[in-house]
């Protein structure tokens, strides 16, 4: 259910549960948790950079990574159904996240307000925390696209280009992150 609410941090009036934002929680048990998710009112969680990215990585984990290691055919079939059901949602979530790249360098920017799970920390610009998740979500989404045979689609190609640009910008800003070997060669904070 979409509704307006006032965040406790700063008192801004915000839209609760806008399209393609991942909820912070499944609601308040003293309210109607099945009708009204996002009981957390301190910040506008629809703008949190990490929730959506974690969702995409978790969808990839459950739909692609875990089934690849499963021995049971039923697990692989269920994962295929999950991948097909999660794909359009992940696609919209990633499309929305692309809008957080304010300067076109491929990295997403934090707003200077607490706009990630560490809700008392104000991050401004391209933070290493959110952009590590961004790179992981881009790779996860591209892997899911490949699994589903959608890796030639226009939106997927745009994300491939974004990943290349983002990884180059991340490496220039923070050091060399080698996603192929899963190691960080050097990282500056």
- 125 near 148, Cβ under 8 Å? no
Measured CA distances, 23 to 39, 55, 93, 188 (Å) = 9, 10, 12, 31
- What is the C-alpha to C-alpha distance for residues 170 and 19, in angstroms, rounded to an integer? 29
- 138 near 158, Cβ under 8 Å? no
Its pTM stands at 0.82
The more confident residue out of 99 and 118 is: 99
Give the DSSP letter of residue 13.
Answer: E
State residue 5's pLDDT score: 76
Helix (H) or strand (E) holding 4: strand 3-6
pLDDT digits (tens, 9 = 90+) for 78-104: 988 999 999 999 999 999 999 999 999
Whole-number average pLDDT of the chain: 84
Q: Provide mean pLDDT across the span 48-64.
A: 91
- What is the C-alpha to C-alpha distance for residues 186 and 115, in angstroms, rounded to an integer? 26
| Residue 188, φ and ψ in degrees, nearest 5 | -110, 140
Work out the angle between the directed axes of helices 154-174 and 128-147 (0-180°, nearest 10).
150
């Amino acid at each position: 259910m979409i509704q307006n609410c006032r965040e406790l941090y700063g008192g801004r009036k915000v839209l609760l549960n806008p399209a393609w934002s991942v909820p912070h929680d499944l609601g308040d048990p003293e309210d109607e948790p099945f009708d009204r998710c996002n009981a957390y009112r301190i910040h506008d969680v629809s703008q949190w950079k990490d929730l959506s990215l974690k969702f995409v990585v978790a969808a990839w984990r459950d739909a692609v990574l875990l089934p690849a290691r499963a021995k049971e055919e039923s697990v692989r079939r269920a994962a295929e159904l999950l991948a097909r059901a999660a794909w359009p949602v992940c696609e919209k979530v990633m499309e929305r996240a692309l809008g957080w790249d304010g300067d076109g360098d491929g990295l997403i920017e934090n707003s200077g307000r607490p706009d990630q799970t560490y809700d008392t920390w104000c991050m401004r610009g391209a933070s290493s925390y959110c952009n590590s998740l961004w790179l992981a979500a881009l790779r996860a989404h591209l892997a899911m696209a490949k699994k589903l045979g959608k890796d030639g689609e226009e939106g997927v190609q745009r994300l491939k280009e974004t990943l290349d640009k983002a990884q180059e910008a991340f490496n220039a800003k923070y050091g060399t992150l080698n996603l192929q070997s899963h190691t960080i060669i050097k990282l500056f904070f």
